[in-house]
Amino acid sequence: MHPVIERLTNAGHLDRVFIGGEWSAPAGRARIAVIDPSTEQAVAEITLGNAQDVDAAVAAAREAFVTWSVTAVETRAALLDRVHKLILERAESFAQAISLEMGAAIGMARRNQVPVAAEHIRVARDVLRGYPFLVHREGVAILREPIGVCGLITPWNWPLYQITAKVGPALAAGCTVVLKPSELSPLSALLFAEVMRDAGIPAGVFNLVNGDGPEVGAALSAHPDVDMVSITGSTRAGVLVAQAAAPTVKRVAQELGGKSPNIVLPDADLPRAIPLGVAAAFRNVGQSCSAPTRMIVPREHLAEVERLAAEAASALIVGDPRSPQTTHGPVANRAQFNRVQEIIEAGMSEGARLLCGGPGRPPGLERGFYIRPTIFSSVQPRMRIAQEEIFGPVLAIIPYDSVDEAVAIANNTVYGLGAHVQSRDLAAARAVAARIRSGQVHINHPAWSPHAPFGGYKRSGNGREYGVEGLQEYLETKAILGYMNEEPT
């Protein structure tokens, strides 16, 4: 038995919800297998909650909100500080859980999945300590107050990272939360609930109910005592949440799908830009909503781009996610494996030129949800591989003849989450970045920043996460007129 499974089994947490500061048996009785995507075998089962469990969790969060919402800033910051330290202390357990439940290469889980998740807690703590919850403007007092009980719905692709990106700022703002993690990657969420308990979270401030979207997600979204829902997931799921939330007029924050462009300008440093572009597109085996999976390149440099991209792909090591040598494990589940295979076939049938990869598993891997890193070139913007979010290691290289055409291609999707621009001329890169309709733009592959607001235009969602903007998402604005006036005599 895997050490993470053994730990959670011995604690009884695979069959429990965390409500009101206690682990308890859920009202729900449905069970679902946790599948190791590298072997396609079940490694554990969890018990799913239901609408009754959501009612109990929301009631606990509503009761706790009365006191948590008025706690001192330093009290909330001290809790987040303890959470941050515990995540780092238990980093290896989290990395092992993430590798097991969604197939992340263990090195990637250790270097990226866990450390960046911890950063969201640290940044929420630091932003909280300096945030002006009361300001004065033209004789009016402007107060920022916690919105209330928040339902948080998180996905399977960055399971811990997406939890901390929501829980950290929500608790910092003074909100109480009910978390519904993906039922496909529940192990890291259960470990996180243990962290919250061990950090001394007051009863009801943080609650966790495992469950699926149609049952638990829908109940949380529609619940009249939930003031806000924040979801990271597919655009389809985001629409369903918004529809369920509409009758109660609650705030809905959505971080949804993407089809991010990577515009390579004619003067770009190709030997640097192209390998980094391939790495960014294939990070987390392409299972990132902001992955730059459309590389838009000057037609006159197409041959060199193709050569550099194919070389970069050939250096990737696809295999057992537990091996330190592996750079890319399997995709996370069978549905995703089938989806990626379908879209690769579509690219070939629509006439895109296959540079490397293609359908089927890599040689020597007969089981597991492994995908061959695949690059298409001479892709037309209308093709499915240029329009649909694939969520796998598939890159489309699209040639252009003018910068205006490149920008038009970049903006020609229903999404607008992330984007990249490559150029030696910073002024030119900035000018192109300003024309792209997306929530983030990266110029020349900079380092990731937990302070950079993240969210989408168009069908990539609404609202922002990370940094100051991430905290503000969980705040209401109250204006008090007469706040500074003398008392009447």
Domains and CATH numbers, the chain: 3-256+461-478 (3.40.605.10), 261-449 (3.40.309.10)
pLDDT at 383: 98
Strands 251-255 and 228-232: what pairing?
A: parallel
Q: Strands 475-481 and 140-146: what pairing? A: antiparallel
Look at phi and psi of residue 345 and say left if phi exceeds 0, alpha if psi is from -120 to 50, else beta: alpha
Where does residue 354 fall: left (phi above 0), alpha (psi -120 to 50 degrees), or beta otherwise? Answer: beta
Give the pLDDT of residue 240: 97
pLDDT score for 487: 62
Angle at 94 between CA 91 and CA 97, to 5 degrees: 150
Q: How far is CA 325 from the centre of its chain?
A: 25
Q: Is 438 helix (H, G, I), strand (E, B) or coil?
A: coil
* Residue 259 to residue 199: CA distance in whole angstroms: 38
What sign results for the dihedral spanned by CA atoms 225, 231, 235, 237? negative
Residue 477 in tokens = 């604005």
pLDDT for res 486:
63
Which two structure tokens, joined as six digits, stand for 386?
């240029």
pLDDT of residue 1: 87
Q: Tell me if 166 sits within 8 A of 189, measured CB to CB.
A: no
Q: Does residue 57 contact residue 19 with C-beta atoms inside 8 Å?
A: yes
What SS3 state is found at 108? Answer: helix
| Integer Cα distance of 390 and 406 in angstroms | 21
- In degrees, rounded to 5, the angle at the alpha carbon of residue 107 between the alpha carbons of residues 296 and 333 is 70
Q: For every one of its 489 residues, what pLDDT tens digit does the chain have, with 9 covering 90 and above?
A: 899 999 999 999 999 999 999 999 999 999 999 999 999 999 999 999 999 999 999 999 999 999 999 999 999 999 999 999 999 999 999 999 999 999 999 999 999 999 999 999 999 999 999 999 999 999 999 999 999 999 999 999 999 999 999 999 999 999 999 999 999 999 999 999 999 999 999 999 999 999 999 999 999 999 999 999 999 999 999 999 999 999 999 999 999 999 999 999 999 999 999 999 999 999 999 999 999 999 999 999 999 999 999 999 999 999 999 999 999 999 999 999 999 999 999 999 999 999 999 999 999 999 999 999 999 999 999 999 999 999 999 999 999 999 999 999 999 999 999 999 999 999 999 999 999 999 999 999 999 999 999 999 999 999 999 999 999 999 999 999 999 766 655
What is the three-class DSSP state of 12? coil
Give me the active site residues, please. Answer: 255, 289
pLDDT at 152: 98
Residues with Cβ within 8 Å of 182's Cβ and at least 6 positions away in sequence, in order, are 154, 155, 156, 159
Burial class (CB in 10 A: 0-12, 13-18, 19+), 388: middle
For residues 469 and 466, give the distance between their C-alpha atoms in angstroms, rounded to a whole number: 6
Q: In what order do the strands lie in the sheet with 140-146?
A: 134-137, 140-146, 475-481
Contact call for residues 427 and 403 (beta carbons, < 8 A): no
Quote the CA–CA distance of 390 and 338 in Å, as a whole number.
Answer: 11
Order of strands, sheet of 461-462, starting from the edge strand that comes earlier in the sequence: 22-24, 17-19, 206-208, 176-180, 149-153, 228-232, 251-255, 461-462
Q: How far apart are CA 296 and CA 261, in angstroms?
A: 7
Q: Which amino acid is at 425?
A: D
* Helix, strand, coil percentages for the chain (3-state, nearest 5): 45, 20, 35
CB atoms within 10 A of CB 325: 9
Tokens of 335: 């549905």
